[in-house]
């Protein structure tokens, strides 16, 4: 299940999980991605070893885990583009083992996978991993896993974009996504991007953490008053700080520009959504934030890390909360990295690609956060070298067909 940014992939995932009568578990390749969809990491769920796996034994798997996996009808994987071919083959191996159906791909479990291959790529670290994938697979991408030689990988492409309403901007984003942007379009983007923003505080989307930290620290220090620190409450084993859904130490001042990190769940309707920008106007047991002239009171929220369990008596799968992270759903937002802006919707932003974009899809991700061309500002002119498209992804889509009839 794929499609450009803003086509509703996450909404569709949630709808499927909530409405299907099948026994479903949800997983993702990283802790942050798993938290976003209320699931578990693939390595934790399937008890997979870390690092390259190859032909190695998958190692010990507790009886309770095998029982739980045996009860699964459907495994939903979000952000599947970050799953490597090696891990996909390991998923196949573990599910065949659990289901005791060694000759059937994935042991007969249906995989429903979500993600935009033009946005996030699998991470390949170091010479050893690069040589491994070169020797064993056509590419590190999940779609080149060996298991697909024995079963069909069906592709459903969501085509209706809800984030951007302007057909011209949709056309531009499509060209950025697949690398077909022409010189005239490039000049138009640079002309639009050169228009200075009316608001000097618009958010900057940058390529590196160093740039983001520098901008946010400088702007915070320029504000009058003392810094106030909100400490997160962490219960259970939540993992390392890189897996936290928000800052464990949130530094704020009156006047600080912040971004909301999750949707509001107020009973009378949401006052903000994931990605809304506001300004801190009061700090106490709660944080008051001004959003376009309306002041809202923000309380700490709790993110839950779950683990799936199997009840042998009822023969049902249930999810258990094993850790909690409680913090204000806010982040300093004079600047954020392009990577952390994924999933966010912004009306206006300054895009700073630094000396050059360095990752496939990076420029596309930045531009596709915006709702319209009116909100586009560029720290420097866009260059042809900033538009990087993974050639293996292009190869995949050249052979894949949009099989909408494959929907469960």
Residue 404, pLDDT score: 58
Instruction: Confirm if 359 and 388 have CB atoms less than 8 A apart.
Output: yes
pLDDT tens digit sequence for 124-180: 888 889 999 999 999 999 999 999 999 999 999 998 888 888 899 999 999 999 899
Tell me the whole-structure pTM to 2 decimals: 0.83
Domains of the chain: 9-160 (3.40.50), 167-302+328-386 (no CATH)
Least confident residue range of 46-50, 339-343, 356-360? 339-343
Residue 299 phi, psi (nearest 5): -105, 160
pLDDT tens digit sequence for 216-262: 999 999 999 999 999 999 999 888 887 899 999 999 999 999 999 98
Count the alpha carbons within 13 Å of 228 in the hemisphere toward its beta carbon. 17
Residue 291 CB partners (closer than 8 Å, separation 6+): 271, 272, 276, 277, 278
Q: How much is the average pLDDT of 323-333?
A: 96
pLDDT at 400 over 70: yes
pLDDT at 408 over 60: no
Residue 24, pLDDT score: 95
Q: What is the SS3 assignment for 127? A: helix
Residue 405, pLDDT score: 53
Instruction: Confirm if 290 and 257 have CB atoms less than 8 A apart.
Output: no
Instruction: Confirm if 100 and 108 have CB atoms less than 8 A apart.
Output: no
For residue 315, the 8-state DSSP code is: T
pLDDT at 332 over 50: yes
Q: How much is the average pLDDT of 3-28?
A: 92
pLDDT tens digit sequence for 165-198: 889 999 999 999 989 999 999 999 999 999 999 9
Least confident residue range of 88-102, 207-221, 285-299, 300-314? 300-314
Q: Given CA atoms 168, 173, 175, 181 in this order, what sign does their dihedral have?
A: positive
The pLDDT > 70 percentage for the chain reads 98
User: Percent helix, strand, coil in the chain (nearest 5)?
Assistant: 35, 25, 45
Helix axis angle, 183-193 to 167-178, nearest 10°: 120
How many Cβ atoms are within 10 Å of 380's Cβ, its own excluded? 15
Residue 355 CB partners (closer than 8 Å, separation 6+): none
Helices of type H across 205-263 = 209-222
Residue 258 phi, psi (nearest 5): -130, 160
Least confident residue range of 27-36, 167-176, 226-235, 286-295? 27-36
Q: Given CA atoms 41, 44, 47, 49 in this order, what sign does their dihedral have?
A: positive
Query: 348: closest CA among 255, 275, 262?
Result: 275
Long-range residue pairs from 284-287, CB within 8 A, at least 24 positions apart, any chain: 287/230, 287/252, 287/328, 287/330
């Amino acid at each position: 299940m794929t499609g450009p940014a803003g086509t509703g992939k996450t909404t569709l995932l949630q709808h499927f999980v909530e409405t299907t009568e099948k026994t479903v578990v949800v997983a993702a390749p990283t802790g942050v991605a798993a938290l976003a969809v209320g699931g578990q990491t693939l390595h934790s769920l399937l008890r997979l070893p870390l690092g390259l796996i190859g032909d190695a034994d998958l190692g010990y798997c507790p009886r309770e885990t095998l029982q739980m996996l045996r009860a699964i009808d459907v495994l939903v994987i979000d952000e599947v583009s970050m799953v490597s071919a090696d891990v996909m083959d390991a998923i196949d191996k573990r599910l065949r083992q659990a289901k005791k159906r060694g000759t059937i791909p994935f042991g007969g479990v249906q995989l429903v996978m979500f993600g935009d291959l033009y946005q996030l790529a699998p991470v390949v670290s170091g010479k050893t991993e690069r040589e491994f994938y070169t020797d064993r697979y056509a590419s590190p991408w999940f779609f080149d896993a060996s298991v697909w030689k024995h079963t069909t990988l069906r592709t459903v492409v969501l085509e209706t974009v809800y984030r951007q309403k302007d057909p011209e901007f949709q056309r531009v984003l499509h060209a950025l996504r697949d690398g077909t942007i022409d010189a005239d379009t490039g000049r138009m983007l640079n002309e639009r991007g050169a228009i200075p923003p009316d608001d000097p505080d618009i958010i900057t989307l940058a390529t590196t953490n160093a740039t983001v930290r520098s901008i946010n620290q400088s702007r915070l220090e320029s504000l009058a008053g003392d810094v106030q620190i909100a400490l997160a409450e962490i219960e259970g084993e939540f993992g390392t700080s890189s897996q936290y859904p928000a800052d464990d130490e949130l530094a704020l001042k009156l006047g600080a520009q912040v971004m909301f990190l999750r949707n509001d769940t107020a009973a009378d309707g949401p006052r903000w959504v994931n990605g809304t920008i506001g300004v801190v106007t009061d700090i106490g047991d709660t944080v008051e934030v001004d959003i376009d002239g309306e002041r809202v009171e923000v309380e700490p929220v709790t993110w839950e890390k779950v683990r799936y369990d199997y009840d042998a008596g009822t023969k049902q799968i249930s999810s258990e909360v094993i850790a909690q992270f409680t913090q204000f759903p806010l982040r300093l937002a004079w600047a954020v990295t392009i990577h952390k802006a994924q999933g966010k919707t912004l009306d206006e932003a300054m895009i700073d690609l630094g000396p050059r974009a360095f990752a496939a899809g990076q420029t596309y991700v930045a531009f596709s956060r915006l709702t319209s061309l009116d909100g586009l500002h560029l720290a420097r002119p866009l260059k042809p070298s900033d538009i990087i498209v993974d050639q293996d992804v292009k190869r995949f889509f050249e052979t894949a067909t949009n099989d909408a009839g494959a929907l469960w």
